[in-house]
Amino acid sequence: MDLHLLSQYLLSGLVIGVIYSLMALGITFIYSIMKMINWSMGEFYMIGSYVQYFLLASVLGWDRWYVALPLAMASVFLLGVVVQRFLLRPMYVGGVERRDEYATVMTIALMVLFRNLAIVLGGPNQYSPRDYAKPTMLLTLPLSGNRFVALVGALVLLALFYLLVTRTWVGRALRGAAQNRIGIQTAGIDVLRLDMLAFGVGVAMAAAAGALLAPDFLVYPENGAISTFKGFEIIVIGGLGSILGSVVGGVLLGVIEALGSVFISPAYKDLYGFLLLIALLVLRPNGLFGERERTV
């Protein structure tokens, strides 16, 4: 195996891993605050890609992808807020006894609804926005301009997210909610409002991934399925609720898949991540950076 090629495989895995981690971060963020798994995360990714395509094809023109991206994120953020307000909030205020089941049923129903709505509104075919940028080189790796933009975009969003969570008042409140939902209510913080914000931000992260990857991975009703799948793998590898775990888990999964598919077989690409996941569940059940939950 020549080193040049090996470095290309590693870089390719690294790039896709960073992009995967955006999706995982959204899932883990929502879980941390709301203590629920959003099974329709891939559909918010899909909606992000459709909004981006629609804005570029019909409103802004193909070159203004950087304007469309925040608009796509904002639209999905608003959709997330509406979904949380009317469909998920009853979990906490409506006296629902089995919250986990409620959240599972509701988000799976949303997944089916959004996927079918996409078929009804956009048809079942694939679409693709024009390239965001010209092909480039990342060290030894020839990279599409789109993938480079997605990589930079993902890194910027991850950094912004980190700043939001660690350096702002809202971020402190969100971290408080992640630690103890009842505790922060005693400090006078409206936790239901925080839920709304967390759900909106989480799904907007997924939408960003969908919008950034639209020219490379296409726009079609089921394009979010693979991202959800990877997102859940990453949060188990990295540790549910851990932001750092999402990033490290994403990169690890991307690299392992790239190397496994070249050195073993690409027909079992998904298997390599699962083997890592099973190994971690046996050796470190809380994931790489997950912490055992402590309750009083």
Partner 1 sequence: MSRRLTAIVLAFLTLAVLAPPALAQKPVKIGVLTPLSPPGDPAAGQLIVRGAKMAADEINAKGILGGRKIELVIEDDSGTPEKGAAGFRKLATQDGVVAVLGQFHSSVALAVQDLAEQFKVPIFATQASARAFTEKHLNYSFRTHVIDTDRVQLWNRWIKEKGFKKVALLAENTDYGVGLVEDTKKLFPSTAGGAELKTIVFDRAVVDLTPQLLEIKSWKPDVVINIGVGTPAYLIIKQAADVGLLPGTPMLVSYDMPARAEFWKNLGEKGNYVSFLVYYHPTMKLTPRGEAFRAKYREQFKEDPVYASLNGYAQVVLIADALEAVKSDTSEALVKSLLANKFQGWNATISFSRGEGPYWQQWTPPMLMMQYTKTDMPFTEAKIIYPAEFKTGELVVPR
- Binding region for partner 1 (CB under 8 A): 2, 5, 8-9, 12-13, 16, 119, 123-128, 130-131, 135, 142-144, 146-147, 216-218, 220-223, 225-226, 258-259, 261-262, 265-270
Minimum CB distance to partner 1 smaller for 104 or for 128: 128
For partner 1, the closer of residues 135 and 183 by Cβ is 135
What is each CA distance from 237 to 154, 212, 257, 281, 290, in whole angstroms? 19, 24, 14, 8, 9
Instruction: Determine the Cα–Cα distance for residues 28 and 110; give it in Å rounded to an integer.
Output: 19
Q: Choose between 67 and 225: whose C-beta lies nearer to partner 1.
A: 225
- Give the three-state DSSP class for 87: helix
Provide, rounded to whole angstroms, the least separation between the CB of residue 155 and partner 1.
Answer: 18
Q: How many CB atoms lie within 10 A of CB 190?
A: 11
Tokens of 6: 């090996």
- Tokens representing 69 are 């991206």
Minimal distance in Å, beta carbon 123 to partner 1? 8
- Closest to partner 1 by CB, 147 or 181: 147
By three-state DSSP, how is residue 191 classified? Answer: helix
Two structure tokens written together for 37: 């798994």
Whichever of 116 and 179 has its CB closer to partner 1, that residue is 116
Cβ–Cβ under 8 Å, residues 197 and 170: yes
* Residue 161 CA: distances (Å) to CA of 7, 38, 60, 202: 29, 19, 27, 10
Cα separation, 23 vs 154, in Å, equals: 10
CB of 223 to partner 1, least distance (A): 8
3-state DSSP call for residue 249?
helix
CB of 189 to partner 1, least distance (A): 40
Element counts in the chain: helices (H) and strands (E): 12, 2
Least gap, CB of 218 to partner 1 (angstroms) = 6
CB of 222 to partner 1, least distance (A): 4
User: Least distance to partner 1 from the beta carbon of 165, Å?
Assistant: 29
Nearer to partner 1 among residue 119 and residue 164 (C-beta) = 119
Closest CA to 91 of 179, 170, 191: 191
Q: How many angstroms separate the CA atoms of 276 and 110, rounded?
A: 30
For partner 1, give the closer residue by CB, 237 or 240. Answer: 237
